[in-house]
Amino acid sequence: MKFPSSTAFAVLGAALIAISFGLARFAFGLFVPPIRADLNLSPYAIGIIGALPLVSFAFATVIAPLAAVRLGARNAAVLSGGFGVVGLGVISQAYGAVSLGIGVVACGVCTGLMMPALTAAMQALVKRSMHGRVSSVMNAGTSVGVMVAVPAVIFLTGAWRFAYGMFAILAVLGVFATWFFLPSVSRVRPANAAPPEPISALQWWRLFRLSLFAFAMGFVSSAFWIFAPDLVINLGAFSADATGWLWLAVGCAGLGGAVVADLADRNNPPITQALMLMMLAASLALLAASPGQLAIAVFSSLVFGMAYMSLTGLYLMTGIRLLPGRLSMGPVLPFMAVSLGQAAGAPLIGMLVGELGYADGFSVFAAICIVVALLSPLYPRYLEHEHEPEEEQTGLQAAYDYQLQDEEGEPLQPRR
pLDDT tens, position by position, 329-367: 667 788 888 988 988 998 999 899 888 888 899 999 999
For the chain, what is the largest distance between any 2 Cα atoms, rounded to a whole number of angstroms? 68
Indicate whether 116 belongs to any domain: yes
pLDDT-derived band at 395 (thresholds 50, 70, 90) equals low
Phi-psi region of 406 (alpha: psi -120 to 50; beta: other; left: phi over 0): beta
State whether 94 and 137 are in the same domain.
Answer: yes
Residue 327 in contact with residue 403, Cβ under 8 Å? Answer: yes
What's the distance, Cα to Cα, between the start and end of the chain in Å?
28
Cβ-based neighbour number of residue 180 at 10 Å:
13
Residue 382 in contact with residue 264, Cβ under 8 Å? Answer: no
State whether 242 and 167 are in the same domain.
Answer: no
Among the three residues 137, 164, 189, which one is the final residue of a domain in this structure? 189
Domain that holds residue 162: 1-189
Residue 142 in contact with residue 309, Cβ under 8 Å? Answer: yes
Indicate whether 409 belongs to any domain: no
List of E strands, 3-109: none
Among the three residues 189, 221, 237, which one is the final residue of a domain in this structure? 189
State whether 295 and 223 are in the same domain.
Answer: yes
Q: Which residues of 55-77 are buried (b: 16+ CB within 10 A; e: fewer)?
A: bbbbebbeebbebbbebbbbbbb
Length of the chain: 416
Angle between helices 6-17 and 160-181 (to 10 degrees): 150
> What average pLDDT does the chain have?
81
State whether 13 and 145 are in the same domain.
Answer: yes
Average pLDDT over residues 70-88: 91
- Quote the distance between the C-alpha of residue 130 and its chain's center: 21
Question: Of 171 and 245, which is predicted with more confidence?
Answer: 171
CA nearest 125: which of 196, 190, 75? Answer: 190
Indicate whether 412 belongs to any domain: no
pLDDT for res 388: 43
State whether 248 and 292 are in the same domain.
Answer: yes
The DSSP call for residue 22 is I
pLDDT-derived band at 368 (thresholds 50, 70, 90) equals very high
Indicate whether 261 belongs to any domain: yes
State whether 180 and 237 are in the same domain.
Answer: no
Q: Does the structure show a pLDDT above 50 at 197?
A: yes
Question: Of 164 and 202, which is predicted with more confidence?
Answer: 164
Q: In angstroms, rounded to a whole number, what is the distance separating the alpha carbons of residues 118 and 132?
A: 13
- Please calculate the CA angle 395-397-402 and round it to the nearest 5 degrees: 95
Q: Is 190 helix (H, G, I), strand (E, B) or coil?
A: coil
The CATH number that applies at residue 329 is 1.20.1250.20
CA nearest 254: which of 9, 50, 14, 51? Answer: 14
Q: Which residue type occupies 139?
A: N
- For the chain, the domain total comes to 2
Indicate whether 238 belongs to any domain: yes
H or E segment to which residue 236 belongs: helix 201-236
Q: Is 411 helix (H, G, I), strand (E, B) or coil?
A: strand
The DSSP call for residue 405 is B
State whether 128 and 210 are in the same domain.
Answer: no
State whether 82 and 182 are in the same domain.
Answer: yes
Close Cβ partners of 387 (under 8 Å, ≥ 6 residues apart): none
Indicate whether 415 belongs to any domain: no
Indicate whether 380 belongs to any domain: yes
Indicate whether 95 belongs to any domain: yes
